[in-house]
Amino acid sequence: MTTGIPGWVPVEHRWFGLDRRSLKPALFVLIVALLLIYGWPALNAVIPWDNATKAGDVLDLGDGATAVPPVGWQLESGALVSDRTEVVPTQDDVKLAKGGTTIQMTGASFNGTAAQFLDQVLTSEDPEAHISGAPATLTTTSGLVGVVRSASGTGGDELLAAFKMSQSAPAAAPALLVDVSAVPGEFQQVSGEIEAFLRSITPGANE
């Protein structure tokens, strides 16, 4: 490689102080790495979402728990009951999106009440989130009692709803967090759909 002294590059192989003989592998690595890092996101950006929810769709939240998604939202993560896949309530998330609003549903193992779970979520998350609204109760059509807190700011609106997915033994049941975030000015347009969605959540089949 060199003329005997480590680091000494023969003059005919120099290019701006670099050894031209190593240029090819270095460029190969750089190009492949950049293709993987930026090529996939670029391709992802040009492929549109095409998985809109339809009337009659029912989300599978695992262990028999369900929710009815608003019609016309993109289901970006999660399974429908009709998919017949095995959903683990504490592992599989649901994500719905429409315009600048997203609904993220996350299950977790948690011993305690829905209010305690929401407190734990707020403690663990970004302190800058400024969830300042007072806790409110939300009862679903099936009778599940959840706790809701909301926040508004220059960055948009956020609503957090926490449930324990059992009416008979809520303390040991899996917890469910519904996180709705909307860009400024959009929450009011979808608030009716979101309320109907939250009220459609049902507990597991064992209830």
Stretch of 3-11, 135-143, 179-187, 198-206 contacting other proteins, by CB under 8 A: 3-11
Does position 88 bind other proteins by CB under 8 A? no
Minimum Å gap between C-beta 138 and other proteins is 20
Residue from 61, 67, 68, 80 touching other proteins (CB under 8 A): that is: 80
Q: CA nearest 101: which of 72, 59, 65? A: 72
Stretch of 17-25, 152-160, 179-187, 191-199 contacting other proteins, by CB under 8 A: 17-25
Residue from 3, 54, 125, 155 touching other proteins (CB under 8 A): that is: 125
Would you list the DSSP string of the chain? Answer: --SSSTT---GGGEETTEEGGGHHHHHHHHHHHHIIIIIHHHHHHHSPP--B--TT--EEEETTEEE-PPTT-EEEE-EEGGG-----TTT--EEEEETTEEEEEEEE---S-HHHHHHHHHHHS-GGG---SPPEEEE-TT--EEEEEEEEETTEEEEEEEEES-SSSTTTSPEEEEEEEE-TT-HHHHHHHHHHHHHT-B--TT-
Site string for other proteins, 144-183 (x = CB under 8 A): ---------------------------------x------
Residue from 63, 92, 158, 193 touching other proteins (CB under 8 A): that is: 92
Asked if residue 34 lies in contact with residue 59, where contact means CB atoms within 8 angstroms, the answer is no
Residue from 56, 126, 168, 188 touching other proteins (CB under 8 A): that is: 126
Nearer CB in complex with other proteins: 117/187? 117
Dihedral angle sign, alpha carbons of residues 15, 19, 24, 30: negative
Stretch of 107-115, 130-138, 145-153, 195-203 contacting other proteins, by CB under 8 A: 107-115
- Count of residues near other proteins by CB under 8 A: 52
**Token pair recorded at residue 82:** 């009709």
Q: Which residues bind other proteins (CB under 8 A)?
A: 1, 6-7, 9, 17-19, 22-23, 25-30, 32-33, 36-37, 40-41, 43-44, 47-51, 75-80, 83, 85, 90-92, 106, 108-110, 117, 120-121, 123-127, 177
